[in-house]
Amino acid sequence: MLSDGVCPNAYTFSCVLRSCASTRSIDMGIKIHGDIEEMEQVRSNPYVCNALVDMYMKCGMSLKAREVFKCNPVRDVVSWTSLVVGCIMEGQCEEAMNCFKQMQSEGFQPNAISFTCMLNACSYTNAVKEGRALHAEIEKKGLHESDLLVGTALVNMYMKCGLLDKGLEVFNKLPVQDLVTWTALIVGYVGHADVEEAFMYYSQMQVEGFFPDSITMTSVLKACSGLGRAQVGKEVHTRLLAMELLDKDATLCNGLISMYAKYGLLADAQKVFNNTQTHDVISWTALIMGYAQSGDVDDVTCLFDEMISKGIRPDSVTFITVLNACSHSGLVEKGQTYFEAMSEVYGLVPISRHHACMIDLHCRMGQIAEAVALAYRLPFHPCSSMWRRLLSACQNLRELEYGSHLFEQSVQANDNDAALYVFMGNIMTMSRYKVQLPEYV
């Protein structure tokens, strides 16, 4: 178009910017922005400004988006909503809420899209109070009845925040439901471990004529893992094969591997893994976790090494699984090697659970001095479970000196876990030694 000497107008620029936003083509977007700046009439067009804000936000350049937004001579609910959506995409949900409030304070009334975005922000941050306030506004405008997108967002918000009864109440009051609404209900029940209800609504959804998609089935697989009924899981697997979804969705394959691994059906988990076209860290970790649960540490370490050889980088969960396996098998040297590789090779910062695995490993091997030394080198205060593990080891080894010192440290850390007092009492009894315990608060 440009080579033919045709000058783009505001509508053309808006369309191209939307395309840049959807494909995250920031370099092209910046170039187009430069062209827009040279055209005064286009530069001040509100549709173009809104498209620029949307493009920069979706490409992760929130500061630039705010700069364009502030220079926008004519702000409207669309430009404000673009800003809100961008904040949510960057995980800045509180900032999104602030923008939403400021939009209203400047006299702009939120529309269905604005409300939907804000309800999603409440879901991410568990902001029940703000979600209820939004619900009240939505009911005043009647949007919960006239807009299914808003109604679904309400169901999703309440379910994600753990208000399952309220989510179901909103769901039942909706004049119509669709697959997305049903899925929001099912996902909510699965997320809060109410798998029986999840399966009930999964069945009812199909009776009502709605057939599950890959998102629904991903949640159903999670429910199968929590249900502990292998036959139900196999029936879902058969359904997935009939729907021909497994070749198209790696998440479903990973869910199946994880489900079979949790059942202890390692042959089935391995078969799904072998039939999966592409493997990522999630599928590898799910399989490794299955072998770890069965106590087969040799297969765990072999799979880990094979994963590395395939160019897949382990993540934090992978290391927790491998370290746990080393701990239960007493592999001190291997465990130490993996632990050091986390930061030195893969640039991962060990979190509490990794340190807890190493403390547990030393405790299981009777290496109380090494376990205590590791606990004292932690970059944070030991949690109750760590104190319990250390004192339990002291009890088993009748280590009064270490036990007394650890107990004193836990009290100074204001850890009032009653179990610690029980362990210390047992240590003293076994050692036939009596000391005055600090008063339990």
pLDDT at residue number 415: 65
Q: What is the pLDDT of residues 26-85, one digit of tens each?
A: 989 898 888 888 777 677 777 888 888 888 888 888 788 888 877 777 778 888 888 887
Q: Return mean pLDDT, the chain.
A: 87
Judge residue 255's burial from the number of C-beta atoms within 10 Å of its C-beta, 0-12 exposed, 13-18 middle, 19 or more buried: buried
Average pLDDT over residues 337-343: 96
The answer, yes or no, to whether residue 3 has pLDDT greater than 70, is no
Q: Is the pLDDT of residue 419 over 90?
A: no
What would you report as the CA-atom Rg of the chain, rounded to the nearest whole angstrom?
28
Contacts of 313 (CB under 8 A, 6+ apart): 281, 346
pLDDT, residue 441, reads 34
Q: What are phi and psi of 399, to 5 degrees?
A: -95, 85
Contact 60, 90 (CB under 8 A): yes
Q: At what angle do helices 297-309 and 316-329 cross, to 10 degrees?
A: 150
- Average pLDDT for 229-255: 90
Task: Please tell me what DSSP assigns to residue 379.
Answer: S
Phi/psi at 2 (nearest 5 deg)? Answer: -65, -40
Overall average pLDDT of the 165-191 stretch? 95
Mean pLDDT of 261-279: 93
Q: Which two tokens stand for residue 299?
A: 């297969």
Do 116 and 150 form a contact (C-beta atoms < 8 A)? yes
Lowest-pLDDT range, 29-38, 272-281, 288-297, 303-312?
A: 29-38
What's the confidence (pLDDT) of residue 438? 47
Whether the pLDDT of residue 335 is over 60: the answer is yes
Question: 283 with 290: CB under 8 angstroms?
Answer: no
Q: Are 122 and 161 spatial neighbours (Cβ–Cβ below 8 Å)?
A: yes
Of all residues in the chain, what percent are helix, strand and coil, respectively (each to 5)? 75, 0, 25
| Position 349 pLDDT exceeds 80 | yes
Reading the block at residue 2, the tokens are 């440009």
Tens-place pLDDT, residues 51-65: 888 888 888 887 888
Quote the tokens at residue 179: 């697959």
Residue-level pLDDT at 81: 83
Among 74, 64, 257, 412, which residue's Cα sits nearest to residue 83?
64
53-82 in b/e form (b: 16+ CB < 10 A) is: bbbbbbbebbebbbebbeebeebebbbbbb
Q: What is the pLDDT of residues 101-126, one digit of tens each?
A: 888 888 888 889 889 988 988 998 88
* pTM confidence score: 0.75
How far apart (Å, rounded) are the C-alpha atoms in residues 227 and 269?
A: 17
**CA contacts within 13 A on the Cβ side of 146:** 9
Structure tokens at 409: 């440290």
- Which of 46-60, 90-104, 211-225, 311-325 is the most confident on average? 311-325
- pLDDT(135) > 70: yes
The C-alpha atoms of residue 88 and residue 86 are separated, in whole angstroms, by 5
Neighbours of 256 (CB within 10 A): 28
- Cβ pair 418, 384 in contact under 8 A: no
Window from 30-39, 341-350, 388-397, 424-433 with minimum mean pLDDT = 424-433
Whether 6 has a pLDDT exceeding 60, the answer reads: no
Banded pLDDT at 411 (limits 50, 70, 90):
confident
How much is the average pLDDT of 391-404? 83
- pLDDT value at position 203? 93
Compute, in degrees rounded to 10, the torsion defined by CA atoms 317, 322, 328, 332: -130
Percent of the chain with pLDDT over 90: 48
Within 13 Å and on the Cβ side, how many CA atoms surround 349? Answer: 4
The predicted model gives 370-398 an average pLDDT of 85
pLDDT at residue 315 in the model: 97
Give the residue among 213, 211, 209, 189 at the shortest CA–CA distance from 199.
189
DSSP per position, 223-269: HHHHHT-HHHHHHHHHHHHHHT-TTT-HHHHHHHHHHHHHHT-HHHH
Q: How many CB atoms lie within 10 A of CB 328?
A: 16
Q: Which of 400, 375, 373 is nearest to 389 (CA)?
A: 375
Per-residue pLDDT band at 16 (split at 50, 70, 90): confident
Nearest residue to 12 (alpha-carbon basis) of 51, 38, 44: 51
Q: Which residue has the tokens 């949690």?
A: 383
Tokens at 367, concatenated: 């290496």
The whole-angstrom separation of Cα 236 and Cα 256 is 9
Give CA angle at 17 (12, 20), nearest 5°: 135
Measure the CA–CA gap between 49 and 43, rounded to whole angstroms.
7
